[in-house]
Amino acid sequence: MTSFQLLSTDGLARRGRLTTPHGVVETPVFMPVGTQATVKGLLPEQLEAIGAQIVLGNTYHLALRPGADLIAEMGGLHRFMGWTGPILTDSGGYQVYSLAPTRRIDDHAAVFRSHIDGALFELTPEKAVEIQEQLGTDIAMCLDECPPFGTDPGRLKEAVGRTIHWAERCRAAHRREDQALFGIVQGGTDLELRGKCAAALVALEFPGYALGGFSVGETAEQMTAVLEASAALLPADKPRYLMGVGRPQDIVEAVARGIDMFDCVLPTRNGRNAQAFTMDGPIRLRNACHKRDSAPLEVNCPCYCCRKFSRAYLHHLFQADEMLGPMLLSLHNVAFYLRLMAAIRQAIEAGEFARFREVSLARWGDRT
């Protein structure tokens, strides 16, 4: 069984502990994204060594390839991908947004045109739950409709109604007692709709709740303006998960508003594109200024990349199009995010989060 304990608070920032069948997760936490049963470029033992507590997989992608039946036959997703810690799986709701040109949707289901072979794939709330139960993950997400920022008010209201209806169906279909099913609150930046959706989902008594529909076209300022009120709609004794939001400054601001869990592809995606995150802001390793720089990427970072290699070497790897470059920067970036979360937890415990937030945001400014 999964449980959550709120250990301390500092303002609205929360320090908690999420206990799952595959281990304990200290919150606030960042979950590296392993969409297709792998965090791109990183071995499970590397993730463990840099302090990853929980990783994320994707129901839609794993259902298409290699298939939930095959993963179940191989002993479940943990054994299949060689990761012994907790796993959370998204339901495919984000693909309702990201693959909008190749899908159709109604109250019954979302129907996708597979990006692999063009075959139709119908994803109902019941099917999303069934797939995640076959995968055997620790935390499963309800299927939801994630409308982009700027959606017509009438259409947004329809998406919220559908999200509630689908959450009810997911709740009824869920059977695994060793897997927690989280509800997802939609509503864009409309707090009235957020409140309606949250009230309906809280009544269903999920063990955890997510805020979806952020980082889908709105500015950081627009998100931040409604995030505190949105988080306050969720139970204080349950984990709060902000889906898909991952700039370091956005994470710090979200923690300040009561969020516990985060995921994003930025660490590995930006790593593949020669951008490194550091406590003093981002570094672009393709820039010529690094060609003869013997310094490590980040002086106080204990990751393998920073302990072993210079900026000059990393610059060379990207100039030569060598695969080791993206691998090393992905490793460093994920390590940075995990160090950031550990520092946040420590600051909350010490009652110094406000100062930590002030100093961090001053360092980073609005850089990404």
Domain harbouring 200, CATH code: 3.20.20.105
Per-residue confidence (pLDDT) for residue 168, from 0 to 100: 98
* Position 1 confidence tier, pLDDT thresholds 50, 70, 90: confident
Same domain, 240 and 287: no
Cβ(37)–Cβ(50) below 8 Å: no
Per-residue confidence (pLDDT) for residue 173, from 0 to 100: 98
Per-residue confidence (pLDDT) for residue 92, from 0 to 100: 85
Name the residue range of residue 56's domain: 3-91+125-264
Query: Distance between CA atoms of 288 and 188, rounded to whole angstroms?
Result: 41
Q: Is the pLDDT of residue 367 over 70?
A: no
Classify residue 102: in a domain, yes or no: no
Helix (H) or strand (E) holding 263: strand 261-264
Beta strand pairing status for 120-123 and 110-113? antiparallel
Same domain, 23 and 71: yes
Per-residue confidence (pLDDT) for residue 94, from 0 to 100: 80
Same domain, 233 and 279: no
The residue from 221, 239, 264 where one domain ends is: 264
Same domain, 286 and 187: no
Same domain, 129 and 232: yes
Cα distance from N-terminal residue to C-terminal residue, the chain: 38
Above pLDDT 70, what percent of the chain? 99
Above pLDDT 90, what percent of the chain? 94
- Given 138, 190, 260, 263, which residue is catalytic? 263
Same domain, 233 and 283: no
Q: What is the mean pLDDT of residues 113-135?
A: 95
Classify residue 63: in a domain, yes or no: yes
Classify residue 110: in a domain, yes or no: no
Classify residue 325: in a domain, yes or no: yes
Same domain, 320 and 201: no
Q: Is the pLDDT of residue 211 over 90?
A: yes
Classify residue 108: in a domain, yes or no: no
Residue 293 annotated in active site: no
Same domain, 44 and 171: yes
Classify residue 200: in a domain, yes or no: yes
Q: Which of 123, 45, 32 is nearest to 84 (CA)?
A: 45
The residue from 209, 233, 264 where one domain ends is: 264
Q: Mean pLDDT, the chain, as a whole number?
A: 96
Q: Is the pLDDT of residue 96 over 80?
A: no
Residue 90 annotated in active site: yes
- Given 90, 190, 250, 260, which residue is catalytic? 90
Q: Is the pLDDT of residue 368 over 70?
A: no
The total domain count for the chain is: 2
Same domain, 51 and 71: yes
Q: What is the pTM of this model?
A: 0.97
Per-residue confidence (pLDDT) for residue 115, from 0 to 100: 86
Q: Is the pLDDT of residue 78 over 90?
A: yes
Helix (H) or strand (E) holding 132: helix 125-135
Q: How far is CA 320 from the centre of its chain?
A: 32
Same domain, 150 and 10: yes
* Position 43 confidence tier, pLDDT thresholds 50, 70, 90: very high
The residue from 225, 246, 264 where one domain ends is: 264
Cβ(149)–Cβ(174) below 8 Å: no
Report pLDDT digits (tens) over 301-355.
Answer: 999 999 999 999 999 999 999 999 999 999 999 999 999 999 999 999 999 999 9
Q: Is the pLDDT of residue 227 over 60?
A: yes
Same domain, 224 and 199: yes
Same domain, 256 and 352: no
Classify residue 119: in a domain, yes or no: no
